[in-house]
Amino acid sequence: MILANRVALITGGKRIGLVVARELAARGVDVALSHARSRTEAEQAAGIVRAAGRRAATFAADLSQPDAAAALVQATVDTFGRLDILVNMASVYVQKPFAALTAADWDAAIHVDLRAAFLCAHAAAPHMKAQGGGRIVNFSDWIAKSGRPRYPGYVPYYVAKAGVIALTEALALELAGDNILVNAIAPGPIVAPPGTTDAESKAIEDATPLGRWGGEMEIAKGVLALLDSDFITGETIRIDGGRHVK
C-alpha cells in the first residue's frame, strides 16, 4: 500500500500508539486517534501528527460499549472523507486472581480487547472497500501467539488476545475479496508497564534472548511492514526479542 494521503484510525493514542501515529504521519498519513481515559496522551499524539504536516483528530470512545465502534469509524470518515487503515490497539490489561474474577471483569477484557476489534473492523470494512481496499492491524500478545499461558491472573486478557488471533485469520478470509488485508502483531517486552520495578525490569531483560526491552519503535516498524505488504494477510507476527523461545 502506498501510504501518502491515506487515513488511519488508531484505537489508543498513548505510548506505543503515539509512536505508531508519528511514524504514519512521517509517511504522509492523516491520523485519527480514539481515547477512553487518555485524552491528554491522544492530544499529544495528534499534535505530533500535525507537526509533521498531516491532519489529526481525536475522539472520545468507550469501546466497551457496542455502539461506540461504529460511531468512531463514522466520525473518522466524516472528518477525513475516507478510511484506509485501522489499527486496533485498545486494550484492558489487569491482573486478578481467578477466584476473584467476576462477570464484569470478564466482559471488560473481552469487550475491549476482542469485541471492539471486531466491531471496528465491521464498521470500517465498507469504507475501505469503497476505496478499493485497505489494511487492518489487530493487536494480540506474544503469550497468546505462543499458544499457552505463562502468568497466572490474566484469564480474560489471555482468552481475548487468543481470540484476536482467530479473528484476524477469519477476517483475512472474509475480506480478501475486497482487497482488505488483515494481520495482527503480538508484542512482547516492548515498554515496561507503569509501576515496574528495576528488579522486575531486569528479570524480563534476562528472560529475553536479546537481553533488552524492544521500545515502541519496534512495534511501529512492524505495523509499517504489514501496511507496506500487498501479500501478507491472516498472519500474527510476534515482536518479542525472542522471548517465546526461551
DSSP 106: H
Element at 5 (helix H, strand E): none
200: Cβ contacts below 8 Å, ≥ 6 apart: 192
Amino acid at 41: E
Q: Residue 40 contacts by C-beta under 8 Å, 6 or more apart in sequence?
A: none
* 216 within 8 A of 16, measured Cβ to Cβ: yes
Handedness of CA 61, 65, 71, 72 (dihedral sign): positive
| Cβ(40)–Cβ(90) below 8 Å | no
Cell of 222: 512492524
157 is catalytic: yes
Which residue in 93, 151, 154, 157 is the catalytic one?
157
Measured torsion, CA atoms of residues 123, 55, 15, 88, in degrees rounded to the nearest 10: 10
Residue 194's SS3 state is: coil
For residues 236 and 144, give the distance between their C-alpha atoms in angstroms, rounded to a whole number.
10
In 3D, which of 185, 190, 198, 188 has the Cα closest to residue 246?
188
CA dist 216 → 6, 103, 145, 156, 219 (Å): 22, 33, 19, 25, 6
Q: Which residues are catalytic?
A: 157
